[in-house]
Amino acid sequence: MDVATREIDVLLNTYAESHRNPTNELIHVICIPAIIFAALGMFWSLHPFIAALVVVAALIYYCTLSWRLASGMLLMLALMLLVLEVIPSHSVFYLSLTVFVLAWIGQFVGHHIEGKKPSFFDDLRFLMIGPLFVLQIFYRRLHLAY
C-alpha cells in the first residue's frame, strides 16, 4: 500500500468492487441503513444502554478510519436512536427482526443481480464498511470530502 493511500480508501475501493451494478448499489443504499436500524433496535430491545454502547464502539472504529465519515455516522446513528426512543418498546424487537430479515434478503438479491458475493464473506470488517460505503455515496453527491 502506498504511504499516501489511506486505509479507508483501500477498504472502500475493495468494497466497491462487488457493488458496481446501479441496482445493487441502490439496494444497498436502502438496505444497509435498514439493517443498521434493525440491529440497533434488537440491541435496544435488550436495553437502550446496550444500543448506546454499540454505537460508541462503532464510532470509535469509524474515527480511526475517517473523522468525516464518523461524523456522518454519528448523525445517522443518533437519528436512529431517537426513532427507537419513540417506537413503543413492546414493538421494537419484532419490528427490528422483520426489517433485519427483509433487508438482508434485499442485500442478497442485490448481490445476485451483481453476480458477486458479499464482501464480508472474505473479510468481516466489511460489515462495518458497508455503512461507510453508503455514506460515501451521499458525500460524493453533496461534494463533501470523506
On whether the CB atoms of residues 76 and 33 are closer than 8 A, the answer is yes
Q: Do residues 130 and 15 make contact, with C-beta atoms less than 8 angstroms apart?
A: yes
Distance CA(73)–CA(128), nearest Å, equals 11
Tens place of pLDDT for every residue, the chain, 146 residues? 454 689 999 999 999 999 999 999 999 999 999 999 999 999 999 999 999 999 999 999 999 999 999 999 999 999 999 999 999 999 999 999 999 999 999 999 999 999 999 999 999 999 999 999 999 999 999 999 88
Does residue 24 contact residue 110 with C-beta atoms inside 8 Å? yes
